Amino acid sequence: MPKIRVIIAKPGLDGHDRGAKVIARALRDAGMEVVYTGLRQSPEQIVSAALQEDADVIGLSILSGAHNHICPRVMELLKENGLTDVLVVVGGIIPDVDMPKLRAMGINGIFLPGTAMQTIVDYVTANVRTRQAT
């Protein structure tokens, strides 16, 4: 069984990286291959990292309220680059009213504060489509 390859990214200007780092470590401890991009990554940088790392999953950590701008751009760039099979999940502060918009663009894994690390590990494991499996 090949390892699931994950990019954990912090887009936007926000520097609060506690959640991104904790979840990066939890996914790694669950046996996945995890790359943490560091702070202030543009959608372009994130998608290019996903290409380079042959990622199966992109996890976006957004707490600042900029998700309505960042998520559509990431999804658009993935499409342009033929990476439509990459699973995109979002963690952070997402108001209820914005969730349908994110789901409509194919982001169904939305994890709010208080989510158990195990819940995220289970979601990724159940929903990832590893390249090798197709």
Partner 1 sequence: MTTQAHGIITPHASSDGSDRARWERETLAPALAKTAERAVPFTTISGRPIERVYSAEDLASFDYARDAGDPGEFPYTRGIHPTGYRGKLWTMRQFAGFGTPEETNARYRQLLAAGGTGLSVAFDLPTLMGRDPDHALSLGEVGKCGVNIASLADMETLFDGIPLGDITTSMTINSPAPMLFAMYLVVAEQQGASWKALSGTIQNDILKEFIAQKEYIYPPRPSMRLITDIFQFCVREVPRWNTISVSGYHIREAGATAAQELAFTLRDGVEYVQWGIDAGLEVDEFAPRISFFFNAHSDFFEEIAKYRAARRIWAHVMRDRFGATDERSWKLRFHTQTAGVSLTGQQPYNNVVRTALQALSAVLGGTNSLHTNSLDEALSLPTAEAATLALRTQQIIAHESGVANVVDPLGGSYFVEKLTLDLEREAYAHFEVIDRMGGMVAAIEHGYPQKEIAESAYRFQQSVERKEKIIVGVNGYAEENELPVPILYIDEGAGERQIARLRQLRKDRNDDAVRRTLEALKRGAAGGDNTMPLLIDAVRAYATIGEMCDALRQVWGEYEEVPVI
Q: Which residues bind partner 1 (CB under 8 A)?
A: 12-18, 21-22, 24-26, 28, 34, 36-40, 42, 64-70, 93, 95-97, 112-114, 116-118
Nearer to partner 1, 40 or 131 (CB): 40
CB of residue 31 to partner 1, shortest distance in Å:
16
3 DSSP 8-state letter: P
Nearer to partner 1, 84 or 119 (CB): 119
CB of residue 109 to partner 1, shortest distance in Å:
17
51 DSSP 8-state letter: H
Nearer to partner 1, 28 or 51 (CB): 28
Asked if residue 112 lies in contact with residue 78, where contact means CB atoms within 8 angstroms, the answer is no
Selection from 33, 20, 103 nearest residue 63 by Cα: 20
Nearer to partner 1, 1 or 104 (CB): 104
- Specify the 3-state DSSP secondary structure of 105: coil
Asked if residue 71 lies in contact with residue 11, where contact means CB atoms within 8 angstroms, the answer is no
CB of residue 129 to partner 1, shortest distance in Å:
25
CB of residue 25 to partner 1, shortest distance in Å:
5
How far apart CA 74 and CA 46 sit, in angstroms, is: 8
Asked if residue 37 lies in contact with residue 12, where contact means CB atoms within 8 angstroms, the answer is no
